[in-house]
């Protein structure tokens, strides 16, 4: 007789926002609803604290208070979050979880880790953001004060210190998750904990070529980007790509840039004729992807790259860098290209000047996405939960 599924308490960094953690967390809850599994999600909301139950899914939404400070335009860290501790403890006692799952060193993640220790529950943790690389990118103001000779060494040291601090936090978990094999290997070395793949799936109905509605008379090549418009996404490269394409004689193209961030004003100034529709959701986002001809994603720091998979599902080949998770999604010369920054423009030209290759890549991108499902992703997560519960001392 098979054992019942574990009762899981989940503390995501974000849920309602527009980022990879939030997107994965929403899909995780959708999986829980489909399977009717015992699951408690404790997450941030914009209303007074509220507890909701739907089948075996329980959600507790908590507000961040006046001591919060912004990490991103739509992400915050609440220094006064411990005021929620009594409510969280009571909710956990009533739910009786078998383990706790956190998604990072956020206010919610720290609370989850604290509750794991308090109630003597196994802790698992998923790595969604390359915090060490973000820290180095966000230190540009400091690195610019240094000489060209000392800045690279300082940047490496910032990365190493940030990685060490993150690894110390993650090492309190019994099992780790990461979205690609390279990160799993890095985390296993740094934490001495087993790390399992927690990749991403895609909704192939929401992201589909069928949503394309561009007029036939529109003959421009549309180069698309979806994501946060910030330094760690390397969006400044889009301006250089435009300049290089014009120098190569390609003029019938434009950018479609979906998202928001601190670099948006600068991009608007340096990318004439580009479209900036802001943050899109639902059908508007589906149409934006499907109306692209190539997806251009210059980030070096993404651990997976949900947006790349969404583009492929929309029948749009992708150009990505050889760093981070997106390179594991794109199949070279089949569903797109992996290129160094200085070669992005030539990779784009090589595809757009070969209409047959472009059509083949569009078809291959869609076919590849059809083979990836969210159910398979989360079934693997539950298999890893069993590993955490089997370890000595598990509840």
For residues 366-372, give the mean pLDDT: 90
Distance CA 324, CA 272 (A): 29
Answer yes or no: are the C-beta atoms of 41 and 325 closer than 8 Å. no
The enclosing H or E element of 162 equals: helix 151-170
Whether residue 9 has pLDDT greater than 50: yes
Share of the chain above pLDDT 70, in %: 87
pLDDT band with cut points at 50, 70 and 90 for residue 1: very low
pLDDT value at position 134? Answer: 44
The alpha-helical segments, DSSP class H, found in the chain are: 20-35, 85-95, 107-119, 131-137, 140-143, 151-170, 181-191, 237-247, 264-270, 282-290, 306-313, 326-329, 344-352, 355-369, 374-390
**In CATH terms, are 8-201+373-390 and 209-369 the same topology?**
yes
Whether residue 113 has pLDDT greater than 90: yes
pLDDT value at position 385? Answer: 96
Domain ranges for the chain:
8-201+373-390, 209-369
Answer yes or no: are the C-beta atoms of 178 and 304 closer than 8 Å. no
Distance CA 154, CA 215 (A): 51
Q: What is the pLDDT of residues 152-194, one digit of tens each?
A: 666 666 666 676 677 888 899 999 998 888 888 988 998 999 9
For residues 114-133, give the mean pLDDT: 82
pLDDT value at position 158? Answer: 61
pLDDT value at position 179? Answer: 83
Instruction: Identify the residue with better confidence: 253 or 84.
Output: 253
CA nearest to 361, candidates 83, 26, 369, 346: 369
Q: What is the pLDDT of residues 132-144, one digit of tens each?
A: 444 445 555 455 6
| CATH topology (fold) of 209-369 | Rossmann fold (3.40.50)
pLDDT value at position 64? Answer: 80
Instruction: Identify the residue with better confidence: 175 or 18.
Output: 175
| Least-confidence region, from 60-74, 94-108, 185-199, 371-385 | 60-74
The enclosing H or E element of 255 equals: strand 253-258
Whether residue 251 has pLDDT greater than 90: yes
pLDDT band with cut points at 50, 70 and 90 for residue 291: very high
pLDDT value at position 73? Answer: 55
Paired residues of 52 in beta bridges: 59
Q: What is the pLDDT of residues 22-49, one digit of tens each?
A: 888 999 999 999 999 999 999 988 767 7
pLDDT band with cut points at 50, 70 and 90 for residue 393: low
Domain 8-201+373-390 homologous superfamily, CATH: Glycogen Phosphorylase B; (3.40.50.2000)
pLDDT value at position 136? Answer: 44
pLDDT value at position 313? Answer: 96
| 9 contacts: CB under 8 Å, gap ≥ 6 | 40, 42, 92, 95, 97, 99, 100, 101, 112, 115, 121
| Least-confidence region, from 66-70, 86-90, 240-244, 358-362 | 66-70
Kindly calculate the radius of gyration of the chain based on its CA atoms and give it in whole angstroms: 22
pLDDT value at position 274? Answer: 96
Whether residue 299 has pLDDT greater than 60: yes
DSSP state for residue 149 in the 8-state scheme: T
């Amino acid at each position: 007789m098979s054992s019942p599924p574990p009762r899981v308490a989940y503390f995501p960094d974000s849920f309602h926002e527009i980022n990879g953690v939030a997107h994965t967390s929403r899909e995780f809850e959708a999986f829980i609803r489909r399977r009717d599994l015992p699951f408690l999600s404790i997450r941030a909301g914009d209303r007074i604290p509220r507890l909701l139950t739907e089948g075996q899914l329980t959600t507790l939404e908590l507000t961040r208070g006046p001591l919060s400070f912004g990490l991103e335009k739509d992400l915050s860290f609440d220094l006064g979050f411990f005021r929620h501790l009594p409510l969280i403890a009571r909710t956990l006692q009533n739910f009786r979880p078998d383990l706790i799952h956190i998604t990072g060193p956020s206010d919610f993640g720290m609370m989850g880790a604290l509750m794991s220790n308090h109630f003597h529950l196994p802790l698992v943790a998923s790595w969604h953001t390359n915090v060490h690389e973000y820290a180095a990118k966000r230190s540009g103001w400091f690195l610019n004060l240094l000489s060209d000779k000392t800045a690279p060494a300082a940047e490496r040291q910032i990365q190493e210190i940030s990685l060490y601090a993150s690894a110390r936090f993650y090492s309190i978990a019994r099992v780790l998750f990461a979205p690609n094999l390279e990160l799993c290997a890095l985390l296993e070395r740094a934490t001495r904990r087993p790390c399992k793949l927690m990749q991403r799936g895609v909704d192939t109905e929401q992201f589909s070529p069928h949503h394309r509605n561009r007029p036939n008379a529109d003959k421009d090549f549309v180069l698309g980007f979806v994501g946060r418009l910030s330094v760690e996404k390397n969006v400044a490269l889009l301006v250089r790509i435009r300049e290089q394409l014009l120098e190569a004689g390609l003029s019938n193209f434009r950018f479609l840039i979906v998202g928001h961030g601190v670099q948006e004003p600068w991009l608007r100034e340096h990318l004439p004729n580009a479209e900036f529709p802001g943050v899109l959701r639902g059908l508007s986002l589906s149409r934006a992807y499907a109306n692209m001809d190539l997806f251009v994603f210059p980030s070096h720091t993404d651990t997976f790259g949900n947006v790349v998979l969404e583009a492929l599902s929309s029948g749009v080949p992708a150009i990505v860098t050889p760093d981070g998770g997106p390179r594991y999604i794109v199949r070279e010369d089949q569903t797109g290209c992996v290129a160094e920054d200085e070669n992005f423009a030539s990779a784009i030209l090589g595809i757009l000047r070969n209409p047959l290759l472009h059509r083949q890549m569009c078809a291959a991108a869609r076919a590849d996405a059809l083979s990836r499902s969210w159910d398979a992703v989360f079934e693997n997560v539950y298999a890893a939960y069993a590993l955490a519960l089997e370890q000595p001392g598990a509840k």
